[in-house]
C-alpha cells in the first residue's frame, strides 16, 4: 500500500485528482469506478477545473459508480445519479451513455444487481476504483458483517451510516434504509484502488482498517491484501496511524 499524507482536505483532493488524471492521460479509454459523498467532492472539483483548462479529456472515459440508494429516482437531489451529474458528468465532456450508476428504482433488485455486475464485465473491468471510508469501516455500502459479501447486492444500511448520511436530508426519516452496492469481490477486482480519507473523526477507523487484522467486521481492512492500493489521507485522519 502506498500512503500519501496531506496537509488538509484541499491537499488530499488535489493529490487524489492528480492520481485520477494520470490514469486518464495514460489510458484515455479507461474505466473509472467512482464514489459519492463529501469525501470526493473536492477531487471532482479539481478534475473539472483541469478539464476546463483543457488539461484533461473525458471523451473516451467510462465510469461505473459504487452504489445507489434504493427507491430514489435519478431526479431526486439526494440520489447518487443526481450527485454525479451535478458534480462531474455535466461539467466535463464524458459521454452520457458511458456513465453507469446502479438502478435503485428497479423493483427486481436481484436483476438490478446482476445488471451492474454485467456492465462492469462488459467494460472489461475497472482500471481505477475511487473509495471513501465510513466511520464504521464500510467501503461502498458494505457494512460490518460476519463475512465479506462478494458481488453487487442490496444492503440494509446500518444505523451509524444512516445517521452519517442524514446531514444531506431534511430529516433522518427521509434517509433510505437500503442501497445497492458493489460487493467486496467486485471492488477488489479493480486493477488499482484509490482511497481518500480526511478528518480526525476517521483517525480510529483508519488505524483499524489499515493496521489492524483483516476482518469483515471492518470491511475496508480487505484492502490490505490488494496488489495496488493508494491511501491519500490528511494529517488528522492519519493521527493515530503508526507511521
The proportion of the chain whose per-residue pLDDT surpasses 90, expressed as a percent, equals 86
Q: Which of 65, 127, 138, 234 is catalytic?
A: 138
Q: With respect to residue 126, please indicate whether it lies within any of the assigned structural domains.
A: yes
Q: Which of 143, 165, 198, 208 is catalytic?
A: 143
Q: With respect to residue 64, please indicate whether it lies within any of the assigned structural domains.
A: yes
pLDDT score of 238: 98
pTM beyond 0.85: yes
What count of Cα atoms within 13 Å lies in the side-chain half-sphere of residue 48? Answer: 15
Summarised one tens digit per residue, pLDDT across range 171-197 is 888 888 899 999 999 999 999 999 999
Q: With respect to residue 240, please indicate whether it lies within any of the assigned structural domains.
A: no
pLDDT score of 162: 86
Q: Is 54 part of the annotated catalytic residue set?
A: no
- Provide the grid cell at 156: 440494509
Question: What's the CA gap between 140 and 142, in Å, rounded?
Answer: 6
Q: Is the pLDDT of residue 164 over 90?
A: no
Summarised one tens digit per residue, pLDDT across range 190-239 is 999 999 999 999 999 999 999 999 999 999 999 999 999 999 999 999 99
Q: Which of 65, 67, 103, 127 is catalytic?
A: 67
Q: Is 110 part of the annotated catalytic residue set?
A: no
Q: Is 67 part of the annotated catalytic residue set?
A: yes
Question: What's the CA gap between 135 and 205, in Å, rounded?
Answer: 6
Q: Is 151 part of the annotated catalytic residue set?
A: no
The domain that contains 113 carries what CATH number?
A: 3.40.50.1360
Q: With respect to residue 97, please indicate whether it lies within any of the assigned structural domains.
A: yes
Q: With respect to residue 239, please indicate whether it lies within any of the assigned structural domains.
A: no
Summarised one tens digit per residue, pLDDT across range 68-123 is 999 888 999 989 999 999 999 999 999 999 999 999 999 999 999 999 999 999 99
Total domains in the chain come to 1
pLDDT score of 40: 97
Q: With respect to residue 243, please indicate whether it lies within any of the assigned structural domains.
A: no
Q: With respect to residue 241, please indicate whether it lies within any of the assigned structural domains.
A: no
Residue 22 lies in domain: 2-234
Q: With respect to residue 228, please indicate whether it lies within any of the assigned structural domains.
A: yes
Amino acid at each position: 500500500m502506498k500512503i500519501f499524507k496531506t496537509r488538509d482536505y484541499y491537499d488530499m483532493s488535489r493529490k487524489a485528482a492528480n492520481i485520477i488524471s494520470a490514469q486518464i492521460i495514460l489510458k484515455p479509454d479507461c474505466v473509472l469506478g467512482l464514489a459519492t459523498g463529501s469525501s470526493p467532492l473536492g477531487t471532482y472539483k479539481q478534475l473539472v477545473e483541469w478539464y476546463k483548462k483543457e488539461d484533461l479529456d473525458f471523451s473516451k472515459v467510462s465510469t461505473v459508480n459504487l452504489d445507489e440508494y434504493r427507491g430514489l429516482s435519478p431526479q431526486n437531489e439526494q440520489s447518487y445519479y443526481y450527485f454525479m451529474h451535478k458534480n462531474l458528468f455535466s461539467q466535463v465532456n464524458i459521454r452520457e451513455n458511458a456513465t453507469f450508476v446502479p438502478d435503485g428504482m428497479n423493483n427486481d433488485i436481484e436483476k438490478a444487481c446482476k445488471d451492474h455486475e454485467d456492465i462492469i464485465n462488459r467494460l472489461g473491468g475497472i482500471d481505477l476504483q475511487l473509495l471513501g471510508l465510513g466511520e464504521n469501516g464500510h467501503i461502498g455500502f458494505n457494512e460490518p458483517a460476519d463475512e465479506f459479501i462478494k458481488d453487487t447486492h442490496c444492503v440494509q444500511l446500518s444505523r451509524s451510516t444512516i445517521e452519517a448520511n442524514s446531514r444531506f436530508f431534511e430529516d433522518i426519516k427521509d434517509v433510505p434504509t437500503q442501497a445497492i452496492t458493489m460487493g467486496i469481490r467486485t471492488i477488489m477486482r479493480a486493477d488499482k484502488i484509490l482511497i481518500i480519507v480526511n478528518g480526525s473523526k476517521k483517525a480510529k477507523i483508519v488505524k483499524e482498517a489499515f493496521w489492524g487484522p483483516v476482518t469483515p467486521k471492518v470491511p475496508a481492512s480487505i484492502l490490505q491484501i490488494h496488489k495496488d492500493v493508494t491511501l491519500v489521507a490528511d494529517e488528522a485522519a492519519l493521527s493515530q496511524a503508526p507511521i
